[in-house]
Amino acid sequence: MEVVLQRDYGKLGKAMDIVNVRDGYARNFLIPNGIVVIATEGNKKQVADAKRAYEKREEREVAAARELLTKIEQMPCTIAVKVGEEDQIYGSVTANDIAEFLKREGFSIEKRQVILEEPIKQLGVYTIGVNLHKGVDAQLKVWVVKEES
């Protein structure tokens, strides 16, 4: 039976894919759980239209992400922190701190988009990844410096 996936589902495929499955599997499990609909001519046309709209939207989002990538990579990011003896940082610089800095600079970046393996606990220069879109990652140079008293 030919069916249209309503959402991503395991090894069957991604949303809006047209796949062939056994009749019993479709009737007894996939259709009742809202995972698929039967691939009628109307549904196939609707899927084709939705895919075209999705691809156009995806192209616009990737172009916007690439434009944002160049702006972020050219921007200097300096984070001043309080330090103790022997330049030991009080606390650490986290993904949230970097996201807050980017928000102050006018970028709409969430902390989950900042790729930071572990919090920064020493002064220095670090290269941090920022995930802007699927497959578009910016490299942000972060300078962690001593806060002036």
Domain holding 109: CATH number? 3.10.430.100
Domain count, the chain: 2
* pTM, entire model: 0.67
Alpha-carbon distance of 44 to 4, in angstroms, equals 8
With residues binned 3-state (H G I as helix, E B as strand, rest as coil), the percentages for the chain, rounded to 5, are: 40, 30, 30
Query: What CATH number is given to the structural domain containing 56?
Result: 3.40.5.10
What count of Cα atoms within 13 Å lies in the side-chain half-sphere of residue 99? 14
Host domain of residue 7: 2-65
Assign 87 a pLDDT band (cuts: 50, 70, 90). confident
The pLDDT of residue 108:
87
Mean pLDDT of the chain: 90
Same domain, 58 and 76: no
Alpha-carbon distance of 24 to 27, in angstroms, equals 5
